[in-house]
Structures are given as structure tokens and as C-alpha cells.
């Protein structure tokens, strides 16, 4: 395969615009080319550098009844040394066209792989838009960075494009996306104003944002797709935020879509539906009449399914090991039927919902089965709650199976809840309402209680209790008897004739403990890697994963007693730490099968591949002083006066082991919540080397090392990440950080690691 370089169009851009310069069978591509007719191309790798603007695509397609078979062509927009957050430009633009088919094309190294605008009946078949743009994440194993939170709330002006995408469909009708692979991006497929599409048999997994995102897009079918590990904002047993990543996002007036037979596990939310700011402001519309059927949304750090301010159907989905199986805030006339919800903190939780039906769901080992409640006050800025009655009311709850659910019902502030005696309960402990039970109440193993708005507990009748365990044939028969017939009479979609089974393979490691995040997103289990699992009692425990082959320890720093020193994957390594070391490093080598790394580069079979872990263990003891400032000590207008504040007695003092905080209000009750500054300092020993400082700030920040300014982002800004690498001599050093917050929430986080 040859690699072709072309920066300027070979036949001139003006000529292309008039003639199309349409290639014959087996011809070559040129940068800036406009394709107007069907063609098959030579197999080749093309390097067409991404432009600074998305308005200058590398290749443009326009016309009717066009079939373009790219025969395994790869179009690459990035230089060898570019990192994913540096990718820019647009690979392919399809515009103002009808009945265009693109197949067997790979596009990588761009901000957006392919964009289609005003296209009817576009078909993207067996293409690959992986290894395009994704940002470097600032969240670390020990602490989360608010700068990594996503916001998909606005896209009427194509704001989503700032996040990049493998595919971006705008104002398209009847698109078909089939057999497409998109991995190691931030986003796979984004759709805005796109209708009547069929998205199926795709692999959109291991991205750091979204698998599929819809905005003002209705009447689409998203089916039989693998959408697993679209996630960020997770560190096992440390924080589980998800940061609004999702397998599927359904946003802003996206109605009448079908989402069926997908696997969207291990994603921030499996499925995330929000009606749009227009609904919150006006109370009108929503994301309504969507069918969410027979999907697997398990292992979500946040919600298996989140549906809010809308009316939809949630039927026959699998939701295991999520924070919330279903979060349905402000849902109305929503049907939740036949879902399996297991090992979740909350099975189904609905805040301020109305006229909902919760029927024939199978809840096992959840802490709370069904939670219904009402918030005491509605936000003043919501038009929604001013024009609508949002009181929590009118539920039909029937035929649900509960096994070993601590609290089958947790209901408060809700009127007219009809709980049928067909609900079956085994090994329930208690039902509570927003408060601990009265001490004079005894909750036996097989008793459960409903507490109504007046606070009086009512023991449910014997007909609501059933005792065979879930692996008992009687329990299985009960599941079949209750769950199956409840869906039998419904008009539900059938699998597509050529729809694939999107389930995870049996040998895939599953569970939230296998959401493994690095600075570029989720780990895909394909390349050799090392993961710190614990740091207890001076011993580091690592998990090492990768393809078939052998690894061995070849060196380290600040460690001793590596056990074992060689093996294959998966493996657990335990290492004793030198308590006096400030840098802990472990070097391994792998030799074995060929693999593709997280940047899309192939390591051939038998080639040695290095695996490195390093961590700075500085004894940082920060002392932070806080001051409110005024117009005379404004940090931007009067910096010297602001800096002189630290010579005065502080309004608050905090001693910190690490410098990290996220405050919605003031750092101390003695201070005003806006317009305050922070002066923090530490003295610490460190070994000689090059070090990377990652600083997250909202608002301004300056960092000084031994009195020298090494980082300067002194402005009012939303949470932002700055990275600087600095050589440091061995010995003791002093770090000083200045920070100010003008208004709103404040963020400051400083993290040190060894560079290289």
C-alpha cells in the first residue's frame, strides 16, 4: 500500500468546481477534490492535512445517484507527531445531494471525519472513522476535574462541532449508517435535524463522549449497535460521575425514535434523554414518544436510562450495576415495563413525575427498588414549572418482582399511588420515606412497608410477598409468567433481518471495575497497559492487561520486591514502595501478538513494546489563604493591590494534602460567595527530572516555581486545563499558586507527574 501526499489540488480548485474532475475506476484522490459521479479508487493511504476551518474539507461530494467505493482507502489529516487534541479540519463533506453511497473508506486525524449537510438518502457502509479528535482529559485517578464535564445543551448553531465527531449529519433525511466503526474519538455519530434514519450494525465504542447523539432528530431507528464504553469521569471506588458522556444521547425535541437491541454498557449514562432548553423555558414540547426497547444499558457510572421532562416507553431493557437503573425526573405518561434492574443503588427513581406506569419489572439486589418523591421548591428560572403542575402524583405500580431489594418502595410527597397486590416480594427488609423508620417499628426480613404522605406506615398484604430465590425454578417460572405476557400484546419492533447480535462477547471483562480511564479516554483491552489499583500499607497493586504474549519487568524507580516479574495477561503485580522516593516508576516490556495502540498505530507481532507507569509522590502540604477582593483590589485591573492582600490577615485558612477544590459558593462561611482570591504555597522535596504540571482553573490562575512564573492563565474563564513541562533539579522546591474567582463556582486543581 502506498502513501500519497497532496496539499494542492492537482487539477486546480476552479476546474474541479466546474468539471468535478471525476476519477475513473482505479484513479487516485487529490486534496480539495470535488466528486460528482460514481467511482472506485485505488487502495492507498492519503495524507491531506486538516485545514484550520471545517469550511475547507479535504474531499467534497455533491450530486445525485453516486456510489463511491473507496476500496480500503485511508485519508489521514494529522502529522505523525500530532496528538488527538491537535487534530483539526474536515475529512469528507457531502452536501446538497441525494442518494449518495460511500463505502469502504477510512478517515482519521481530523476534527470531524465526515460531515453531511442537506443530503437525502445518504448511505455510509462499512467505513471506519476512528482515531479522530478527542481532548486530553484532566481528571486523574484520585480526583475529578470539572473541566472534563460535557455540555450538549445547545446545538442550533452547530455548537457540538467543537467536540468533534467521526460522523456529523445535519439536516439529512433517510440516512443509513451500517457496519461503520468509530472508536478512540470523543464522539462517534452526531445527528442534528436528521430524520427517518436507520443506524444499525455499527461499532461505536471506547470513545470519551458519545456513541450516538441526536438533536432535533426524529423518526430514526438506532438498532443492533455496539455502543459500549463511551465514558469519562470515572475512577473505580473513588468517583463515578460520567460527566454527561453516554452511549446514546437524545436531546432537544427528538421524538418518535426507536432505540432497540443495542448494547450501550459501561457508558456514563447508557441512555440520556433531555427535552431541551426550549421545553425548560416554555413548558412545551419535549423528547416524546421514543421507544427504548431490549437494550443493555448496564454498568453505567450514573444512570442506565435517564429520561426527563418527557413521555416515553422503556420496555425490556437490562440495567445492571448502575447508580440509578432508571432516573425519570419530571417524566409524565411514561411506561416502564419489563425491565431487568439488578444491583443498582436505586432501581427506578422519579422526581416530580405524573401519570406514570411501572409494571412487571424484575428488580434484584437493588438498595432501593422504586423511589418516588417531590422536590420542595422549583427553580425560579424554569418556565416549565410555572406553566405545568409538576406535583408528584398518579402512579400505577403492578406486577413487579422484587428479590433481596433492601427497600422495595421509597415514596414520599406523592399522591394517588396505586400499588396492586400483584407485586411479588422476596427478602425485602423495609420501605422508608425520606427519614429513618420510627424506633418502635420492627422490620422483619419478609416485611415491607409503604409510607404515605401522612407518615403512617402501612404493612402490605401477604399477597405481595413471595419467597423462592431467583435461581429457583419457581422464581424463573414467575419471571416468565409475569414479564413475558405483559409485553405480548404490545406493538414492539422485531430484530432486523440482517441485524447483528450486539451483545458483549463472553470473554469480555465486564463490570464498572473495568472502566479504566487514562488521559485520552477509556481503555479498549487491545493493547498492553498497566493500571494502579491500590496503594495500601506501602504496597502498590497493579492490574496489567493486553493481548496474547508475555511481559516482564525490566526496571523501576523507588520500588522494590516486584512480584511477579514476568507473565502473561491478565496479571496482578505487587510492588513495595521506597518510602523516601518521590518518583515511583515501573517499566515493563511486552512481546507477543500484533496490536493497535490507543492512537491507531500498529505494533507488529514480535516487536518489543514498552509499558511504563510513573507517579510523583511529593509530600505536598499546602497552606491556602483566602481573601475577598473589591474594585480597588481587582486581580485584573489592580494586580499589585490584589497580590498585596496576602500580606494581610486572611479571612479563611485551609491546610491541604493536595491542592484541589471545587466550590459552588465561598470556601468559608465567613466570606462572600463571589470575588475572592486564593494564595496557596508548599515546599516539597523532589528528584531531578522533567515534570508535567496540569492545572485546572476557574477563574484565573498563576503558578510560580521557586519564585519563577511557570504558568499564566490570568483571566475570567470557565473551567480550563493548562499543561506545562518544567525541568527541576533535585532537592527542595517551593510552589506558589495565585487564583481568583470572579463569580459562580470556582475550581482549582494542581497535579504533578513525571514527563516522558
pLDDT of residue 103 exceeding 60, the answer is yes
pLDDT at 424: 77
Give the chain's count of helices (H) and strands (E). Answer: 5, 60
Q: How confident is the model at residue 425 (pLDDT cuts 50, 70, 90)?
A: confident
3-state secondary structure 626-648: EEECCHHHCCCCCHHHHHHHHHC
CA-based nearest residue to 548, from 592, 602, 589, 590: 592
| Helix, strand, or coil (residue 344) | coil
| Set of cell numbers at residue 166 | 467521526
pLDDT in tens, 560-607: 889 999 999 999 999 998 887 888 899 999 999 999 999 999 999 999
Q: Left (φ > 0), alpha (ψ -120 to 50) or beta: where does 18 sit? A: alpha
pLDDT in tens, 340-354: 999 999 999 999 999
| Set of cell numbers at residue 610 | 514498552
Higher pLDDT, 4 or 738: 738
Q: How confident is the model at residue 452 (pLDDT cuts 50, 70, 90)?
A: very low
| Set of cell numbers at residue 209 | 463522549
CA distances from 52 to 57, 112, 117, 140, 536 (A): 10, 12, 19, 30, 48
Please say whether the beta carbons of 729 and 688 come within 8 A.
Answer: yes
| Set of cell numbers at residue 412 | 414520599
DSSP of 544-602: EE-SSEEEEEEEEESEEEEE-SEE-SSEEEEEEE-TT-SEEEEEEEEEES-EE-TTS-E
Give the long-range contacts of residues 351-354, CB within 8 A, separation 24 or more: 351/375, 351/392, 352/390, 352/391, 352/392, 353/328, 353/329, 353/392, 353/395, 354/389, 354/390, 354/391, 354/392, 354/393, 354/394
pLDDT in tens, 51-97: 999 999 999 999 999 999 998 899 999 999 999 999 999 999 999 99
Q: How confident is the model at residue 447 (pLDDT cuts 50, 70, 90)?
A: very low
CA distances from 723 to 619, 693, 712, 748 (A): 21, 6, 11, 14
pLDDT of residue 14 exceeding 60, the answer is no
Q: Measured in Å, how far apart are the chain's first and last C-alpha atoms? A: 33
The reply to whether the predicted model has a pTM over 0.75 is yes
**Nearest 5°: CA angle at 636, between 635 and 641?**
45
CA dist., res. 358 & res. 39, Å (int):
54
Burial class (CB in 10 A: 0-12, 13-18, 19+), 29: buried
C-beta neighbour count of 12 within 10 angstroms: 14
CA dist., res. 203 & res. 27, Å (int):
30
CA dist., res. 642 & res. 635, Å (int):
5
Q: How confident is the model at residue 482 (pLDDT cuts 50, 70, 90)?
A: low
Q: How confident is the model at residue 295 (pLDDT cuts 50, 70, 90)?
A: very high
528-556 per-residue burial string, b: 16 or more CB within 10 A, e: under 16 = bbbbbbeeeeeebebbbbbbebebebeeb
pLDDT at 342: 96
Please say whether the beta carbons of 133 and 110 come within 8 A.
Answer: yes
List domains and CATH numbers for the chain: 526-616 (2.60.40), 622-754 (2.60.120.260)
- Residues forming a β-bridge with 623: 655, 681
Burial class (CB in 10 A: 0-12, 13-18, 19+), 71: middle
Please say whether the beta carbons of 11 and 30 come within 8 A.
Answer: yes
CA dist., res. 428 & res. 410, Å (int):
12
| Set of cell numbers at residue 487 | 409485553
CA 523, 616, 578, 538 dihedral sign is negative
Q: What is the CA radius of gyration of the chain?
A: 28
**Nearest 5°: CA angle at 550, between 545 and 555?**
85
CA dist., res. 612 & res. 251, Å (int):
41
Q: Left (φ > 0), alpha (ψ -120 to 50) or beta: where does 239 sit? A: beta
CA dist., res. 575 & res. 586, Å (int):
9
Average pLDDT, the chain: 88
pLDDT of residue 652 exceeding 80, the answer is yes
CA 216, 217, 223, 229 dihedral sign is negative
**Nearest 5°: CA angle at 666, between 660 and 671?**
130
> Cell 427553580, residue?
379
pLDDT in tens, 520-537: 999 999 999 999 999 887
pLDDT at 465: 40
| Helix, strand, or coil (residue 385) | helix
Please say whether the beta carbons of 245 and 150 come within 8 A.
Answer: yes
Please say whether the beta carbons of 389 and 283 come within 8 A.
Answer: no
CA dist., res. 219 & res. 254, Å (int):
8
Mean pLDDT, residues 703-709: 96
| Set of cell numbers at residue 362 | 424484575
| Range in 141-150, 174-183, 270-279, 662-671 with the lowest mean pLDDT | 662-671
Amino acid at each position: 500500500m502506498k502513501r500519497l501526499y497532496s496539499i494542492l489540488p492537482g487539477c486546480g480548485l476552479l476546474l474541479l468546481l466546474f468539471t468535478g474532475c471525476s476519477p475513473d475506476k482505479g484513479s487516485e484522490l487529490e486534496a480539495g477534490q470535488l466528486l460528482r459521479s460514481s467511482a472506485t479508487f485505488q487502495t492507498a493511504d492519503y495524507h491531506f492535512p486538516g485545514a484550520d476551518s471545517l469550511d475547507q474539507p479535504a474531499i467534497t461530494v455533491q450530486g445525485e445517484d453516486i456510489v463511491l467505493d473507496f476500496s480500503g482507502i485511508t485519508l489521514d489529516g494529522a502529522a505523525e507527531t500530532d496528538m488527538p487534541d491537535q487534530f483539526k479540519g474536515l475529512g469528507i463533506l457531502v452536501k446538497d445531494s441525494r442518494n449518495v453511497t460511500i463505502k469502504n473508506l477510512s478517515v482519521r486525524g481530523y476534527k470531524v471525519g465526515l460531515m453531511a449537510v442537506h443530503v437525502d438518502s445518504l448511505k455510509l457502509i462499512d467505513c471506519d472513522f476512528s482515531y479522530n479528535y478527542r481532548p486530553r482529559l484532566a481528571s486523574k485517578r484520585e480526583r475529578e476535574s470539572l473541566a472534563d464535564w460535557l455540555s450538549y445543551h445547545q446545538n442550533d448553531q452547530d455548537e457540538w462541532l467543537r467536540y468533534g465527531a467521526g460522523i456529523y449529519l445535519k439536516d439529512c433525511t433517510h440516512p443509513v449508517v451500517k457496519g461503520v466503526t468509530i472508536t478512540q474519538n470523543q464522539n462517534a455519530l452526531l445527528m442534528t435535524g436528521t430524520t427517518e434514519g436507520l443506524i444499525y450494525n455499527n461499532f461505536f465504542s471506547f470513545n470519551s463522549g458519545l456513541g450516538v447523539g441526536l438533536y432535533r432528530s426524529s423518526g430514526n431507528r438506532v438498532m443492533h449497535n455496539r455502543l459500549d464504553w463511551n465514558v469519562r469521569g470515572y475512577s473505580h471506588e473513588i468517583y463515578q460521575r460520567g460527566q454527561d458522556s453516554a452511549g446514546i444521547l437524545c436531546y432537544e425535541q427528538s421524538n418518535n425514535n426507536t432505540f432497540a437491541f443495542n448494547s450501550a454498557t459501561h457508558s456514563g449514562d447508557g441512555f440520556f434523554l433531555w427535552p431541551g432548553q426550549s421545553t425548560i423555558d416554555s413548558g412545551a414540547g419535549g423528547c416524546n414518544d421514543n421507544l427504548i426497547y431490549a437494550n443493555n444499558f448496564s454498568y453505567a457510572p450514573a444512570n442506565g436510562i435517564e429520561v426527563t421532562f418527557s413521555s416515553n416507553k422503556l420496555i425490556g431493557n437490562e440495567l445492571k450495576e448502575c447508580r440509578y437503573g432508571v432516573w425519570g425526573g419530571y417524566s409524565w405518561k411514561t411506561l416502564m415495563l419489563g425491565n431487568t434492574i439488578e444491583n443498582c443503588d436505586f432501581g427506578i427513581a422519579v422526581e416530580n413525575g405524573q401519570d406514570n406506569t411501572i409494571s412487571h419489572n424484575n428488580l434484584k439486589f437493588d438498595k432501593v427498588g422504586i423511589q418516588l418523591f417531590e422536590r420542595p421548591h422549583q427553580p425560579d428560572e424554569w418556565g416549565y414549572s410555572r406553566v405545568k403542575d409538576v406535583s408528584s402524583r398518579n402512579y400505577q405500580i403492578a406486577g413487579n418482582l422484587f428479590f433481596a431489594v433492601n427497600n422495595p418502595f421509597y415514596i414520599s410527597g406523592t399522591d394517588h399511588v396505586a400499588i396492586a397486590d400483584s407485586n411479588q416480594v422476596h427478602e425485602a427488609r423495609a420501605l422508608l420515606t425520606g427519614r429513618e423508620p420510627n424506633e418502635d417499628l420492627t422490620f422483619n426480613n419478609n416485611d415491607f412497608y409503604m409510607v404515605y404522605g401522612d407518615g403512617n406506615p402501612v404493612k402490605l398484604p401477604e399477597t405481595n410477598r413471595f419467597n423462592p430465590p431467583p435461581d429457583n425454578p419457581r422464581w424463573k417460572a414467575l419471571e416468565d409468567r409475569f414479564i413475558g405476557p405483559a409485553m405480548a400484546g404490545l406493538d414492539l419492533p422485531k430484530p432486523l433481518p440482517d441485524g447483528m447480535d450486539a451483545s458483549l462477547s463472553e470473554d469480555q471483562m465486564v463490570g464498572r471495575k473495568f472502566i479504566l480511564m487514562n488521559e485520552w479516554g477509556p481503555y479498549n483491552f487491545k493493547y498492553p497497559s498497566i493500571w494502579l489499583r491500590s496503594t495500601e500499607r506501602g504496597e502498590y497493586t497493579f492490574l496489567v492487561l493486553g493481548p496474547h504474549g508475555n511481559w516482564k519487568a525490566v526496571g523501576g524507580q523507588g520500588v522494590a520486591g516486584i512480584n511477579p516479574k514476568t507473565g502473561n495477561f491478565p496479571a496482578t503485580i505487587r510492588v513495595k514502595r521506597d518510602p523516601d522516593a518521590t518518583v515511583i516508576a515501573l517499566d515493563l516490556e511486552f512481546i507477543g501478538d500484533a496490536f493497535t495502540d490507543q492512537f491507531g498505530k500498529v505494533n507488529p507481532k514480535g516487536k518489543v513494546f514498552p509499558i511504563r507507569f510513573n507517579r510523583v509522590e511529593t509530600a505536598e502540604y499546602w497552606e491556602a489563604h483566602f481573601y475577598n477582593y473589591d474594585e480597588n483590589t481587582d486581580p485584573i485591573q489592580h494586580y499589585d493591590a490584589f497580590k498585596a492582600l496576602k500580606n494581610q490577615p486572611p479571612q479563611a485558612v485551609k491546610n491541604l494534602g493536595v491542592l484541589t477544590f471545587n466550590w459552588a459558593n465561598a470556601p468559608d462561611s465567613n466570606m462572600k460567595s463571589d470575588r475572592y482570591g486564593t494564595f496557596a504555597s508548599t515546599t516539597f522535596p523532589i528528584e531531578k527530572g522533567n515534570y508535567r504540571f496540569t492545572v485546572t482553573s476557574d477563574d484565573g490562575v498563576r503558578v510560580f516555581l521557586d519564585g519563577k512564573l511557570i504558568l499564566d492563565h490570568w483571566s475570567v474563564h470557565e473551567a480550563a486545563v493548562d499543561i506545562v513541562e518544567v525541568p527541576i533539579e533535585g532537592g527542595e522546591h517551593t510552589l506558589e499558586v495565585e487564583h481568583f474567582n470572579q463569580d459562580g463556582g470556582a475550581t482549582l486543581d494542581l497535579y504533578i507527574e513525571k514527563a516522558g
